[in-house]
């Protein structure tokens, strides 16, 4: 057992220090060496845009436009780095905080807010984006991801050597989720079936008010080898490192090498959700420690040191953020209420007689108010 407990940052793969210096890593350098200034600025842009989304959504919740919001603040590098490592044909099974991954999968982030406004269970086309619906039941989607990966394997879309065909599945979950049976069962199935799945744990240190020390006595990545799943601990606030380790894990999955467990060591800088008050259970010293390790500042400093950041880039990014803010505010305020009958849609993939008879009953019930001359029901 590790004498340092689950909060140690020992053994983290890191390519950028928290002061923005590039450090070499014998195994992982080769996964990022091809990234030129343009690509690195793209990663910075992704993270800044996603953080702007967070800020706007949090304000809208405070104004009563959203029922709830779960911020991804502080986890941008873990999400953008891993998300950018995906191939178009890969599949993502997220929990409920993966807005950064949604963004890099091309989901319009206002569609994510349809869920938080309560007008839709999802809001985006999960097949088109290969980004499945958010899951609020902690850990259950790791089983869906593993099962899906076993299906991909049985379809013969693994290990063919065709880079446009070979497919991996990735699933995102938190440190608290590792205490759930579902996640442990997913690890068993992934291991014994050699499933092409990457289990990406964002250890953001807190499961609402429960710290990681209440979830484990050892670093979370130590769990993987017990199931026979290779594991990596990565600095989750280092976008280059998360890109590198995820690229390697996805390549292993696509080539038939089986699953990988990744622990991205990061920090939830915001509250658990807008219903939570973290000042009740964590210290300002802890928050300050992590503010010094901000993932956006880290990459931004590195790019400044490289001389890659121009005034034009910064102006463009500012304009992009403003446009996104306007788009979010305008779109959310005009999201209409769903019709009550829409609850009968998408229950099953194909028509189902029970659902159809319930829909017919409901339509008769609604119409009865009109027959009674009330104009509309109350
Ligand atoms: C099966 C289940 N149990 C309990 C909850 C209530 N719950 C919602 S979020 C949460 C904490 C999750 O923490 P973690 O997995 O670390 O993810 P994070 O929110 O930190 O990203 C809990 C216990 C739930 N949604 N589902």
Dump pLDDT digits (tens) for 169-187. 999 999 999 999 999 999 9
Sheet holding 260-265, edge to edge: 91-93, 169-174, 197-203, 260-265, 231-235
What are the residues whose beta carbons fall under 8 Å from the beta carbon of 131, sequence distance 6 or more? 92, 94, 101, 102, 105, 107, 124
Same domain, yes or no: 163 and 237 = yes
C-alpha dist (Å) from residue 290 to 263, 293, 330: 17, 5, 33
Same domain, yes or no: 163 and 288 = yes
d(CA 318, CA 45): 10
Q: Is the CB of 52 under 6 A from ligand 1?
A: no
Position 13 scores a pLDDT of 98
C-alpha dist (Å) from residue 234 to 56, 75, 81, 249: 29, 13, 11, 12
Looking up residue 257, the CATH number of its domain turns out to be 3.40.50.970
DSSP string, 1-48: --TT-TT--TT-B-SB-TTS-B---TTTGGGTTT--HHHHHHHHHHHH
Same domain, yes or no: 52 and 201 = yes
Atom number in ligand 1 closest to CA 178:
15
pLDDT digits (tens, 9 = 90+) for 80-133: 999 999 999 999 999 999 999 999 999 999 999 999 999 988 889 999 999 999
Q: Is the CB of 208 under 6 A from ligand 1?
A: yes
245 closest CA partner among 229, 258, 264: 264
Is residue 55 domain-resident? yes
Same domain, yes or no: 131 and 191 = yes
Same domain, yes or no: 211 and 346 = no
Is residue 2 domain-resident? no
Same domain, yes or no: 265 and 356 = no
Residue nearest to atom 11 of ligand 1 (CA): 207
Strands 210-211 and 206-207: antiparallel
Is residue 173 domain-resident? yes
Taking the alpha carbons at both ends of the chain, their separation in whole angstroms is: 62
Residues of the chain with pLDDT below 70 are: 1-5, 372-378
Same domain, yes or no: 364 and 236 = no
Residue nearest to atom 13 of ligand 1 (CA): 207
Atom number in ligand 1 closest to CA 139:
1
Position 110 scores a pLDDT of 96
Is residue 153 domain-resident? yes
d(CA 146, CA 254): 14
Same domain, yes or no: 113 and 134 = yes
Same domain, yes or no: 184 and 266 = yes
DSSP string, 86-134: --TT-EEE--S--HHHHHHTT--HHHHHHHHHTS-S--S-HHHHTB---
Is residue 4 domain-resident? no
What are the residues whose beta carbons fall under 8 Å from the beta carbon of 318, sequence distance 6 or more? none
What's the alpha-carbon Rg for the chain, to the nearest Å?
22
Same domain, yes or no: 344 and 321 = no
Position 349 scores a pLDDT of 86
Q: Is the CB of 207 under 6 A from ligand 1?
A: yes
What are the residues whose beta carbons fall under 8 Å from the beta carbon of 59, sequence distance 6 or more? none
Domain that holds residue 124: 16-334
Q: Is the CB of 182 under 6 A from ligand 1?
A: no
Position 123 scores a pLDDT of 81
Is residue 10 domain-resident? no
Position 374 scores a pLDDT of 55
The number of domains in the chain is 2
Atom number in ligand 1 closest to CA 272:
19
Q: Is 53:61 a contact under the CB 8 Å cutoff?
A: no
Q: Is the CB of 51 under 6 A from ligand 1?
A: no
Q: In angstroms, what is the span from residue 270 Cα to ligand 1's centroid?
A: 15
Residue nearest to atom 12 of ligand 1 (CA): 207
Is residue 104 domain-resident? yes
9 closest CA partner among 338, 300, 233, 332: 233
Is residue 125 domain-resident? yes
Q: Is the CB of 174 under 6 A from ligand 1?
A: yes
Q: In angstroms, what is the span from residue 179 Cα to ligand 1's centroid?
A: 10
Position 1 scores a pLDDT of 46
d(CA 228, CA 288): 37
Same domain, yes or no: 168 and 304 = yes
Same domain, yes or no: 191 and 284 = yes
What are the residues whose beta carbons fall under 8 Å from the beta carbon of 55, sequence distance 6 or more? none
Position 378 scores a pLDDT of 47
Q: Is the CB of 234 under 6 A from ligand 1?
A: no
d(CA 331, CA 56): 12
Q: Is the CB of 272 under 6 A from ligand 1?
A: yes
């Amino acid at each position: 057992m590790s004498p340092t407990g689950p909060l140690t940052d020992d053994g983290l793969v890191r390519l950028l220090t928290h002061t923005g210096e590039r450090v070499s890593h014998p195994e992982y350098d080769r996964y990022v060496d091809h990234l030129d200034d343009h690509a690195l600025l793209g990663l910075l842009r992704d993270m800044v845009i996603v953080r702007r989304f967070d800020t706007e959504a949090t304000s809208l919740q405070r104004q009563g436009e959203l029922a709830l919001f779960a911020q991804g603040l502080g986890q941008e590098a873990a999400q953008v780095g891993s998300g950018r490592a995906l191939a178009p044909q890969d599949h993502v099974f997220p929990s409920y905080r993966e807005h950064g991954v949604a963004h890099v999968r091309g989901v319009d982030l206002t569609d994510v807010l349809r869920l938080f406004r309560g007008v839709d269970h999802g809001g985006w086309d999960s097949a088109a984006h290969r980004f499945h619906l958010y899951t609020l039941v902690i850990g259950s989607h790791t089983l869906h991801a593993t099962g899906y990966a076993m299906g991909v394997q049985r379809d013969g879309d693994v290990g063919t050597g065709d880079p446009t065909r070979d497919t991996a599945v990735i699933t995102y979950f938190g440190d608290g989720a590792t205490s759930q049976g579902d996640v442990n069962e997913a690890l068993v199935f992934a291991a014994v079936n050699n499933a092409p799945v990457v289990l990406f744990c964002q250890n953001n240190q807190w499961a609402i008010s429960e710290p990681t020390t209440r979830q484990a006595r050892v670093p979370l990545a130590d769990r993987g080898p017990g199931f026979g799943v290779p594991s990596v601990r990565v600095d989750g606030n280092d976008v280059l490192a998360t890109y590198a380790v995820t690229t390697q894990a996805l390549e292993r999955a696509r080539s038939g090498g089986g699953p990988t467990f990744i622990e991205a060591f990061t920090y939830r800088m915001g509250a658990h959700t807008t219903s939570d008050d973290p000042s009740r259970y964590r210290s300002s010293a802890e928050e300050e420690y992590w503010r010094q390790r901000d993932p956006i500042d880290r990459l931004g400093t590195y790019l400044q040191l490289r001389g890659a950041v121009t005034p034009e880039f910064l102006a463009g990014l500012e304009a992009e953020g403003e446009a996104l803010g306007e788009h979010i505010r305008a779109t959310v305020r005009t999201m209409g209420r769903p019709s009550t009958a829409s609850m009968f849609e998408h229950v099953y993939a194909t028509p189902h007689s029970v659902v159809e008879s319930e829909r017919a009953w409901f339509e008769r019930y609604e119409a009865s108010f009109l027959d009674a001359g009330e104009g509309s029901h109350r």
